[in-house]
């Protein structure tokens, strides 16, 4: 005997309600609520000229076309920094990526991030640090990945940029050229880390102008190659430059002037916020210094020279000489 129709309908409704309930509790669905954390902080429509399709929330971000080659960089933050000083980790994640683009003679277009955290409270400082940096440098965060149910905290940020003029590849450095240090002396150490903070308290317009300076130097042909002074400090960055170029690099430690009150060794080993090794022809040093001159907080001088021979870095001071690195033992493995 068949059940009444309303019985079938009742069962169908019950089955559908049960299915709906199960689907509403899917881990993959509930995890998307984590995206609310960055959505509260970042601009939802960073490129309004591109129309509604450029609003954030789709599977990928829409960015405007740009002339010249594209530049793509990514940085992961040290787990200790993320755990102990999350706001500064978020700030630094943006800053180091923008420096990487500038070191190639480029302008940043947009950033994305991947964030893992144990919950919304621990993620908040990371997000606020990134948002502060994005506003400071006027570069939008346009997407990424957010997981607030992770057993650990981790952060990586990537940036897309463009090189409107010549690209300042470290591989273009040649024997006979000079290595100059461009660095911002206006700051203080962010203790206990070897981070020279020359940016968090600086005027945003000044910071943007200083990053744009690398584009101008490339376009004018004053700088031929460059390398961002990263967490390896001046010393470690010199090794990466020499390895990429396949040249000998002599660094004159006596020519390097740290900020007032800072020991030379600390300056050689720190991340300086704004620091670049610039490779120039000897006849272009005066032009380089003239571009930097309107910025009294910036220090720019030749500190070494590139020579023919097996890739290596030698340190010179007061007539003494010592080899910091010899190319027989690779550092990154990216040699000519």
pLDDT tens-place string over residues 5-46: 677 788 888 998 898 898 888 888 788 888 888 888 888 888
Chain segment 129-184, per-residue pLDDT in tens: 999 999 999 999 999 999 999 999 999 999 999 999 899 999 999 999 999 999 99
Spans of the chain, pLDDT less than 70: 1-5
DSSP one-letter string for 13-80 = HHHHHHHHHHHHT-HHHHGGGGGHHHHTTS-S-S-GGG-GGGSTTSSS------SS-EEEEEEEPPHH
* Tokens, residue 150: 């992770």
Number of C-beta neighbours around residue 40 at 10 A: 11
* pLDDT at residue 1, as a whole number: 44
Determine contact, residues 101/64, Cβ cutoff 8 Å.
no
* Half-sphere exposure (Cβ direction) of 301: Cα atoms closer than 13 Å: 11
C-beta of residue 323 within 8 angstroms of C-beta of residue 314: yes
Per-residue confidence (pLDDT) for residue 55, from 0 to 100: 86
Among candidate residues 120, 44, 258, the one with its CA nearest the CA of residue 128: 120
Domains and CATH numbers, the chain: 67-162 (3.30.1330.10), 170-326 (3.90.650.10)
Nearest to 155 by CA among 230, 87, 63: 87
Phi, psi of 318 (to 5 degrees): 55, 45
- What's the pTM value of the predicted model, to 2 decimals? 0.91
Upstream peptide bond of 192 is cis (omega within 30 degrees of 0): yes
Residue 39: predicted pLDDT: 85
pLDDT of 4 reads 57
**Cα four-point dihedral sign 198, 203, 208, 212:** negative
Residue 87 has what pLDDT? 96
Q: What local confidence, expressed as pLDDT, does residue 16 receive?
A: 87
């Amino acid at each position: 005997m068949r059940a009444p129709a309303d019985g079938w309908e009742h069962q169908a409704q019950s089955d559908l309600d049960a299915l709906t309930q199960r689907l509403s509790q899917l881990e993959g669905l509930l995890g998307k609520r984590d995206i609310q954390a960055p959505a509260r902080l970042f601009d939802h429509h960073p490129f309004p000229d591109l129309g509604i399709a450029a609003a954030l929330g789709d599977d990928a971000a829409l960015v405007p076309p740009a002339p010249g080659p594209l530049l793509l960089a990514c940085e992961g933050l040290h787990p200790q920094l993320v755990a102990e000083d999350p706001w500064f980790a978020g700030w630094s994640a943006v800053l180091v990526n923008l420096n990487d683009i500038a070191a190639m003679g480029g302008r940043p277009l947009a950033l994305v991030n991947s964030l893992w955290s144990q919950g919304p409270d621990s993620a908040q400082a990371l997000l606020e640090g990134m948002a502060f940096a994005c506003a400071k440098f006027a570069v939008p965060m346009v997407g990424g990945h957010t997981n607030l149910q992770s057993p650990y905290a981790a952060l990586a940020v990537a940036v897309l940029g463009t090189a409107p003029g010549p690209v300042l590849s470290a591989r273009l450095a040649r024997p006979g050229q000079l290595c100059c240090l461009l660095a911002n002396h206006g700051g203080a150490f962010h203790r206990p880390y070897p981070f020279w903070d020359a940016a968090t308290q600086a005027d945003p317009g000044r910071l943007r102008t200083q990053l744009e300076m690398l584009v101008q130097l490339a376009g004018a042909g004053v700088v031929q190659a460059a390398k961002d002074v990263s967490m390896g400090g001046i010393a470690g960055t010199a090794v990466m430059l020499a390895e990429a170029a396949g040249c000998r690099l002599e660094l004159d430690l006596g020519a390097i002037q740290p900020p007032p009150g800072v020991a030379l060794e600390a300056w050689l080993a720190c991340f300086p916020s704004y620091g670049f090794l610039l490779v120039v022809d000897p006849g272009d040093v005066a032009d380089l210094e003239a571009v930097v001159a309107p910025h009294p907080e910036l220090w720019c001088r030749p500190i070494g020279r590139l020579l023919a021979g097996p890739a290596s870095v030698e340190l010179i001071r007061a007539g003494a000489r010592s080899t910091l690195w010899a190319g027989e033992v690779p550092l990154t493995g990216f040699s000519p």
